[in-house]
Structure 1
């Protein structure tokens, strides 16, 4: 009997030891990826991916309502499971349990439609800056609309985690003020007909170009980005080598321009006095220097100064601090490219001195860059909007050395404008908003496995200087994200650029109009894309128009047609074809609600007849007949344009109150359509 009792005690001790060992091996961190939190919304009617991290080779069981799934973590601890499709409903608890003993539960999870809202500043603009914000915020309570906002971040390679914590928030007076207005009003309008919970993921960044939102594979497929992507790849492991390589690319670009071929390189160590003028003491934004040609100048400006360095300092590692820069720079020291950036530098990435704190823009200088005696610092600053230049306290600009000494850049500064006709400089591939893949890597890659219903995309202002390429880029962008989200028919709702600026008094060329046409053509060629026209709801004085309620309504209408199958016009009258009949050009419109109408006049305005060359357009008198517009062609014409300007006056609508959008069509051609 005593022997039996002893064996039982040994067995119990062994079991306790196993339990202790199991507990000690349990995963200490959260099992679920941070996108899965309290109040999350999961996509209905399709399998849902759930993923996270556990102890290596752990078995993980997922449960949601009556559904369960099991996955095994790989050697790195990453796991992924798939739950079967569920109808809209909830709330549910989502639980992950690991075989080593770890458990995590998130509560109040709904199943509905998940929309990814992305783009630049007009998608970022919050509810508190939109029309009637006080009333809208006070009446915003809606438990069935939740939003997760991805914090701004950029990276040189794809990340799996958010750069900063993100939370799902329920719409209400305490939260909705900071919601994306366009995204929130889109979901609120959509719920009037699609009565399901709406989960909104806002991942957007003001001033961003479309290239920053695409993956490396997407950009290589688009073509023309291999050099930038290769340099970005170098930067992952060697910041200094990447700066040198990109500096060579930048200099090659300068030499290839016709306007600069016979000029002295501005970064050369010898100064050609006739080309340089004395800058204002203390520098600051060049618009405030009192120089007439700089008061409204957006573009590149060259800066130059010198600094005297001792022989002992020249032997040391150093850091060039140039202070605040608005916006991007390419910097040389003694004719050698040392850096190119936008925004504030990251000390951890750009210098080798742990004792040097994070601060204004700065570049690490390799040994041999500086020399005893006089050293030449040249900076090309690019500004694309509002104020530009080197700003901030003059004391910020200095060369700092490893021994703690420093040389202030407090001598006289000089400046010069680029030659007339010089192009806009190329942007460094690692720039946050104008680089390649940088935002995708940090703000899209972490959620690439999340199941979504579609994408609302509000972007384009930052790409108006390359409108001719944007149609191809937008097409590749949609293909890229469909691959990333593993959904070949993923719907895209594209907001066309709104009107902005002074209305035209005569026909002319317009990059904004050309980009709108690129958006129209890309959407028309894609059966899973829809267009929301905004040409009549912009603000000539503000690039961020406040009427986001109407933008949301028009996005929702496009979704109702494209995604939810309603038999309504997606975005108002669309041009179908232009035919010549004698001395007239006949434009036939589709998706017309009853008949075309013109506001404020008997005849719609904004139509132009054009020859084949630029500068040949002229305003044309137009008449309405049901769903057709007739233009009299008194002189030879090959093209028709409508509302072709940065900020055109457009009066053509149909009886639904929706406008006809801008377009350009050849006479005798048909428009691509779904």
Structure 2
């Protein structure tokens, strides 16, 4: 017993470390005016006593060790001390504030740090607040929902050191909002550059959409039997490939032995294909097949082995001897794929890698030494026998994404970054995402509603406010009306943000046609704060600038009536508004229209012989917009019918 006595304090320390969920740390912010939910882990069956302000509650841990208590609501204020105790173990959290908690999520424009925003040096040097607190959720993906974070994290007060790496959009929003809503604010940043909306949505919500059942079945299998899941995924990928236009029935690059004329020798150094000196690849975004052979002895082939590949920009699917062994999303990440026993053989073994790139430079990284087989005995076998490549025609399209991929998968970021937050109380959600879904704009409105409703359910509030940032202008300006995936996705965002307990932040005038990451996040913060003041706090102000109410034919004009106009409409830098289009029934019938301002209305002249049925405004990837109200807010992109 004397020998065992020293173990008691150590066991108490271990219990105390997980007694409270990592959300509950020094400097945290809890949501005001709502019952306060506290949870953590203890020994199964243990009684946990919790105290906060004048309130005391106790709970019994379940068979899995999880316990939860709910304390009465508190008004804005603090600082408070939270304590949790069970047996010999206890945890104390100091400097807790009660105020409004905001979840900021999305892809790279939400992730973009303060140091990358306008006037960053001065912004960082002057950053200070005792009543705004910051929490960055560690980037983590998972095939199954997690109860805690995938890395260390902590709440921080605002100072130059803490604000530098924090989300600029989230920080500038809270700083601006606090000028009108004088309460403590907690900012939770959960974002990942390049992520698709499907990665942020739970499997249950995606299944409800009815379009992802096969992939979700594979994802569920991957959580427990990854090798079996990979084999099944290889079959799904193969079926997709052989259904592509122009692909022959016997065209199976992952297993074929023939060295047809389509395969060419890749440079020994590999690297971005844009630098190979091949004209067809100098500005190529799309897919390439790579393949090489590696010769093994019988003793080598009998060992457990791992295939190690250098980074592939930006997504790979990899086969060994005709069997799928891995698929990863991420331009800067090396690939490490454990090979199933018995897959390798004495003699030649074929390794095939399909690489998809959609933005800037792409390809399988070099040098050749970056790619090898790691054997169980510690030896390595380099893949230096020479690589060959084959270009995939544009007509094939984009391949299916393996559902376990981090930012490009299904539910992976929800599982790793949102599920650990489930149960906390929020004041609202900020969502800035969509660039990675522009290729499926027609589906985006349903996906966005699915995510919104899913998160409202997870956070226990069916009316939880949802603020959407509309995609900014980016890309090459057009000289004639045409189709635009970016414009179509903005319209989907506008439609969802028009629904209850939601609002839109329009950014069509503060983007950068040369940079998908516009740095003017201060203006974005002001617009998000304005949207919150309207949709969350009930202020009688226009949430996002002039919006179309209707469009009607009046004589030789079509007249667009605008609502939410502060002061008056005006056209900046021209005699009238630009970027308006009148469209007939046919898809390619849109024409730019001469426009003039008339109070809260805009008149569009109808050309002789034209029968317009729709009006579009700012319908392009990077449109010119010059119609503003007195609050200097632009009329955003839209498409509406003429009545």
TM-score (norm: length of structure 2): 0.95
Structure 1 Cα separation of the partners of residues 11 and 267 of structure 2: 65
Matched residue, 1:665: 640
Distance 1:53 1:43, change over 3 A: same
Structure 2 Cα separation of the partners of residues 372 and 89 of structure 1: 70
Matches within 5 A, 1:119-134: 119-134=106-121
Deviation at 1:23, TM superposition (A): 7.5
Tell me, yes or no, if structure 1 residue 654 matches structure 2 residue 642: no
Matches within 5 A, 1:56-455: 56-98=44-86, 100-261=87-248, 264-343=251-330, 360-455=334-429
Tell me, yes or no, if structure 1 residue 541 matches structure 2 residue 510: no
Structure 2 Cα separation of the partners of residues 367 and 166 of structure 1: 38
Structure 2 Cα separation of the partners of residues 614 and 280 of structure 1: 45
Matched residue, 1:553: 526
- Aligned match for 2:440, one of 461, 466, 474: 466
Per-residue Cα deviation, 1:251-280 (whole angstroms, up to 9, x for no partner): 111112223256722223222422112211
Structure 1 Cα separation of the partners of residues 114 and 105 of structure 2: 16
Matched residue, 1:638: 613
Per-residue Cα deviation, 1:510-540 (whole angstroms, up to 9, x for no partner): 111111011011112x201110000000011
Structure 2 Cα separation of the partners of residues 28 and 192 of structure 1: 39
- Aligned match for 1:613, one of 567, 578, 586: 586
Instruction: Report if the CA contact (8 A) 1:97-1:103 is conserved.
Output: yes
Structure 1 Cα separation of the partners of residues 11 and 386 of structure 2: 64
Deviation at 1:582, TM superposition (A): 3.6
* Aligned residue-pair number: 636
Give the secondary structure class of the aligned counterpart of 1:411: coil
Deviation at 1:97, TM superposition (A): 2.0
Per-residue Cα deviation, 1:159-194 (whole angstroms, up to 9, x for no partner): 111111111111122321122111111001111111
Distance 1:372 1:28, change over 3 A: same
Tell me, yes or no, if structure 1 residue 34 matches structure 2 residue 22: yes
**Gaps (5+ residues) in structure 1?**
1-18, 346-358, 669-674
Instruction: Report if the CA contact (8 A) 1:259-1:420 is conserved.
Output: no
Give the secondary structure class of the aligned counterpart of 2:261: helix
Structure 1 Cα separation of the partners of residues 296 and 166 of structure 2: 52
Matched residue, 1:12: none
Distance 1:75 1:264, change over 3 A: closer
Structure 2 Cα separation of the partners of residues 318 and 593 of structure 1: 67
- Aligned match for 1:505, one of 471, 475, 479: 479
Deviation at 1:306, TM superposition (A): 1.9
- Aligned match for 2:492, one of 513, 518, 528: 518
Larger C-alpha radius of gyration, 1 or 2?
1
Instruction: Report if the CA contact (8 A) 1:334-1:369 is conserved.
Output: yes
Distance 1:420 1:105, change over 3 A: closer
Give the secondary structure class of the aligned counterpart of 1:530: strand
Instruction: Report if the CA contact (8 A) 2:16-2:90 is conserved.
Output: no
Per-residue Cα deviation, 1:474-532 (whole angstroms, up to 9, x for no partner): 001000000111111010100000011222111121111111011011112x2011100
Give the secondary structure class of the aligned counterpart of 2:310: strand
Structure 1 Cα separation of the partners of residues 301 and 80 of structure 2: 65
Deviates more, 1:251-260 or 1:477-486: 251-260
Structure 2 Cα separation of the partners of residues 649 and 262 of structure 1: 47
- Aligned match for 1:46, one of 30, 34, 44: 34
Deviates more, 1:383-392 or 1:306-315: 306-315
Deviates more, 1:266-275 or 1:68-77: 266-275
Structure 2 Cα separation of the partners of residues 397 and 23 of structure 1: 48
Deviates more, 1:426-435 or 1:173-182: 173-182
Instruction: Report if the CA contact (8 A) 1:163-1:442 is conserved.
Output: yes
Deviation at 1:20, TM superposition (A): 11
Structure 1 Cα separation of the partners of residues 93 and 336 of structure 2: 43
Deviation at 1:466, TM superposition (A): 0.8
TM-score (norm: length of structure 1): 0.91
**Gaps (5+ residues) in structure 2?**
none
Give the secondary structure class of the aligned counterpart of 2:359: coil
Deviation at 1:291, TM superposition (A): 1.3
Structure 1 Cα separation of the partners of residues 228 and 85 of structure 2: 46
Give the secondary structure class of the aligned counterpart of 2:19: coil
Structure 1 Cα separation of the partners of residues 372 and 439 of structure 2: 34
Distance 1:562 1:300, change over 3 A: same
Structure 2 Cα separation of the partners of residues 24 and 425 of structure 1: 52
Deviation at 1:281, TM superposition (A): 1.8
Instruction: Report if the CA contact (8 A) 2:218-2:233 is conserved.
Output: yes
Give the secondary structure class of the aligned counterpart of 2:30: strand
Deviates more, 1:605-614 or 1:469-478: 605-614
Distance 1:315 1:74, change over 3 A: same
Matched residue, 1:530: 503
Deviation at 1:615, TM superposition (A): 2.5
Deviates more, 1:595-604 or 1:254-263: 254-263
Tell me, yes or no, if structure 1 residue 596 matches structure 2 residue 596: no
Structure 1 Cα separation of the partners of residues 493 and 18 of structure 2: 42
Distance 1:468 1:456, change over 3 A: same
Distance 1:556 1:365, change over 3 A: same
Tell me, yes or no, if structure 1 residue 575 matches structure 2 residue 563: no
Distance 1:260 1:109, change over 3 A: same
Distance 1:653 1:330, change over 3 A: same
Deviation at 1:342, TM superposition (A): 2.3
Matched residue, 2:559: 586
Deviation at 1:368, TM superposition (A): 3.9
Distance 1:361 1:20, change over 3 A: closer
Structure 1 Cα separation of the partners of residues 626 and 572 of structure 2: 5
Instruction: Report if the CA contact (8 A) 1:260-1:419 is conserved.
Output: no
Matched residue, 1:16: none
Instruction: Report if the CA contact (8 A) 1:343-1:361 is conserved.
Output: no
